[in-house]
Chains A and B, each alone.
Chain A
Amino acid sequence: MARVLIVFAHPALEKSRVHRRLVAATPRDERVTFHDLYQEYPAFDILVEREQELLLEHDVIVLQHPLYWYSGPPLLKEWFDLVLEHGWAYGSEGDALEGKVMLQAISAGGQASAYCEEGYNRYTIRQYLRPFEGTARLCGMRYLPPWVVFGTHRLDGPDIDAWADAWARTVTWLADEGWGDIEPDPDSLLVEGAGECAPWPIAGIDERLEPNAVPTESGSGDGGGG
């Protein structure tokens, strides 16, 4: 069993199609804490101590957000800047987060196939997410293969339902089993997004985490997320 903290950052959830459904589908029990940053700190005045306490109380830290300009929304970045203090999260005396696990759950407007060397976006999603991965590593956390919904602009209701369902199973699985000792391929994603650049399956991970329906393949895409 693991305690899961979902740090959620979405500046306009009311306009969201994908995340609103993911949030609604997220299982709510004593093992899962849903923490909505933009709802808590609309004026960006993050309470550092409170955030650090929250982090200490959990084993798995999930960063859930749309991909904006190949990165997270600004409040998430502010959260990193202020909460992960030197001497607490990193540095010679900073070991508060050591041994914890970080998972990024993101949505991207572009199709999965656009995120590769020959594709429209030139780099893989894992390459774009390197700053997050590096942060996790510097804090002594394990960075899991990210959970990505690609091509959000083209998803319709049933597609999103399937993704929401898959997300619920993923969170439950994390809470039930933690992460264990699985060593995934450094370029893998947690679930397949129907792109050639995303190797699947990861050895040791159950296929039940995969959504029922996957988005169709297509060429165009950009940095905006859903």
Chain B
Amino acid sequence: MDGLLAQAFVYLTAAVIAVPIAKRLGLGSVLGYLIAGMIIGPDVLGFVGSEGQDVLHFAEFGVVLMLFVIGLELEPALLWRLRGPILGMGGLQVTISTALITGGAIAFGLPWNEALAVGMILALSSTAIVLQTLGEKGQLETSGGRSAFSVLLFQDIAVIPMLALLPLLGSGVHTVDAADAGHAESASLLAGLPGWVQTLAVLGAVAVIVVGGRYALRPVLRAIARTRSREVFTAMALALVIGIALLMQLVGLSPALGTFLAGVVLATSEYRHELETNIDPFKGLLLGLFFLAVGASIDFELIADQAGVIFGIAGGVMLLKFLVLLALARGFRLAGDPALLFAFALPQMGEFAFVLFSFATQEGVLGAAIVDPLVAAAAISMAVTPLLLLVNDRLIRPRFGTKERGQRPMDSMTGHAPVLIAGFGVFGATIGRLLRAKNVDTTVLDYDSDRVDLLRELGLEVYYGDATRHDLLDVAGARDATLLVVAMPDPDSTLKVVRTARKHFPDLRIFARAFDWSDAHVLRDEGVEAVYRQSLDTALRAGRDALRILGFRAYQAQRATRTFLRHEEESLDAIAGMEGKDRSAFVSTARARIADLERILRLELEDSGVDRDRGWDPESLRDEFGSDESTAGREAADEGEATGAGGTTGGGEADHIR
């Protein structure tokens, strides 16, 4: 197959076919991608040839994006709380697994330096497969999932010293063919410089990310947000991540680690949700591509030739790592479900194996005869991981696991306020302030970056973002909220938010501000629970005060206003009911608006019963009892006087009776 488009078509089609099937079968998307990759790979259909390796390298960027998104969801405080598991469990996992695998390799006759290289590389697990699979199952937030995450994070850090150590293990036995070795991390410009310069550069790069992320980035994001151009913001988000990845490569750090750090720094910023929403689709696509490429890279011919060796390595290494993980789980007081999840999640070899093996080959540490079966074993182990987790879920855990008590999800990342307010102009802000006064938490989404800044300075939970996008609503917690208040600045965006919310979150109750009568209809038809017409209440208040100035008693004017308001709403309902579905076709036309207005006026004339409080009206009592002196009459007259208080104490008739 030739050409970028043709390739893209093959990959996308494979994903579109395989992933839904895999998900339907309960296998999860990762397995779907892997199987699709194998099928389009060179050994089955042959749609993808040797360029699969290049695609793999390109798609590794998906891992970088994933760690950025994970960083965005991890507030620094939470990361600090995880420092124990990261250093303790992560450190021990890498050291012990390395030692054991090295020992095994020596036992099989490898020289110690080659054995150590193999041990280090195989000790690492696959961040991409594990996090994607656990995330899909919602297991990342359990204690087992979080421990797995901690270990993976440590492994990302551990790659740095490994890259430094591997060249030192070179014995010069293996011939070096740099061109063949691909583009590994060795691109570092600093490779030739003395150690202290390299160290300084690394520290400098980290400082750039932390300080820049905290102080320089926000004004830049704000300036871009102010352009209100969504694709520029997306471009900025991507440029940011790619820039950091490049910087990291320059100083020889793992790009994933750098973007993770940047994510954490930005986790407390108002642009968190928006960045996440923008990066997410790219992350998903690239990760999918990565899994496809892993599947396609599995060399069935090689496996068939050396089946015993390769499956032996894969099985042996996984068993070894599995046992180490179980022991660690016990050591760190994980038991039952979390321990099983932790141990089943991490025994595979990871994508770092591909990178590091090619690097080691390039440095002359390992020869192709050793590396090829190892790479095949790594790919197999990755492919097997989702299956292992499935087996754990379906077969092992139900029998041997214990339920985890008091699961503490990472909920600090998305505060689940009961009320979402979309649009924080005067209307939305007034609602927000009222709710706040009664200690009701709200999450606010607004698309005006200046306002977002101001409100955040006042200490409000406001996020910059486009509420018409369902993914942003999701990130903001629409799934768990009770109520969405739509207070967008114009009818179009209001309708968009309402439709999006109705479609993706059918349980969410919706209040919406409408701009005119016709608009209110449409919103009602869309299933909005309560529609608030812009300026209806203020107009009525002004009307009420006008009545007062003209001599009406304040309470009468007030009651007339209330009655009028109720009448308005009833007519709205009545018309909405009458029209049914016909009206939606021409609802936004001028004709419909005029017809509606006409209808309101007519209803108004037909029933102008604004003053219906007959209980306070002594007229009928005077008619009945005014001249009669019977007993019943007297009692009732008393009653009449009591109820018709205005008649005796309210002053002249003219100023209150109509």
Contacts and interface: CB of A to CB of B under 8 A. Distances in A.
Interface of A: 43-45, 48, 81-87, 90-92, 138
Interface in B530-570: 559, 562-563, 566
B14 to A, nearest CB: 58
B602 interface: no
Contacts of B563: 45
Interface of B: 559, 562-563, 566, 612-616, 620-621, 624, 635-636, 639-640, 643
Nearest to B555: A44
A81 B636 contact: no
Contact of B621 (A43, A81, A82, A91): A91
A91 B636 contact: yes
Nearest to B619: A86
Given A43-B562, A86-B620, 13 more contacts: A44-B559, A82-B613, A82-B615, A84-B615, A86-B615, A86-B621, A86-B639, A86-B640, A86-B643, A87-B620, A90-B639, A91-B621, A91-B624
A64 B618 CA distance: 28
B562 A45 contact: yes
A116 to B, nearest CB: 28
Nearest to A131: B642
| Closest CB pairs A-B (n = 9) | A82-B615, A45-B562, A81-B615, A86-B620, A85-B615, A86-B621, A81-B643, A85-B614, A87-B620
A92 B635 CA distance: 12
A48 B612 CA distance: 9
Contacts of A81: 615-616, 643
B627 to A, nearest CB: 14
A86 B624 contact: yes
B616 A138 contact: no
Contacts of A87: 620, 624
14 contacts: A43-B562, A45-B563, A45-B566, A81-B643, A82-B613, A82-B615, A82-B616, A86-B624, A86-B636, A86-B643, A87-B620, A91-B620, A91-B624, A138-B639
Contacts of B621: 86, 91
Nearest to A90: B636
Contacts of B614: 48, 85-86
A224 B640 CA distance: 29
Nearest to A47: B566
A54 to B, nearest CB: 16
Contacts of B640: 86
A20 B615 CA distance: 31
Nearest to B640: A86
B639 A92 contact: no
A51 to B, nearest CB: 11
A46 B146 CA distance: 57
B611 to A, nearest CB: 12
Contacts of A84: 615
Nearest to B625: A91
Contacts of A138: 635-636, 639
| Most chain B C-beta atoms within 10 Å of own C-beta, residue among A45, A86, A87 | A86
A117 B37 CA distance: 95
Nearest to A137: B635
A181 B614 CA distance: 35
B365 to A, nearest CB: 73
A43 B559 CA distance: 9
A48 B566 CA distance: 13
A138 to B, nearest CB: 6
A89 to B, nearest CB: 9
Contacts of B643: 81, 86
Contacts of A92: 624
Nearest to B630: A92
A45 B566 CA distance: 9
Contacts of B624: 86-87, 91-92
A45 B612 CA distance: 11
A83 B636 contact: no
Contacts of A91: 620-621, 624, 636
Contacts of B615: 48, 81-86
Contacts of A85: 614-615
A196 to B, nearest CB: 33
A91 B622 CA distance: 11
Nearest to B628: A92
Contacts of A86: 614-615, 620-621, 624, 636, 639-640, 643
A131 to B, nearest CB: 9
A87 B620 CA distance: 8
Contacts of B566: 45
Contacts of B612: 48
A44 B566 CA distance: 13
Nearest to B559: A45
A201 to B, nearest CB: 33
A187 B624 CA distance: 33
A64 B614 CA distance: 25
A98 B21 CA distance: 72
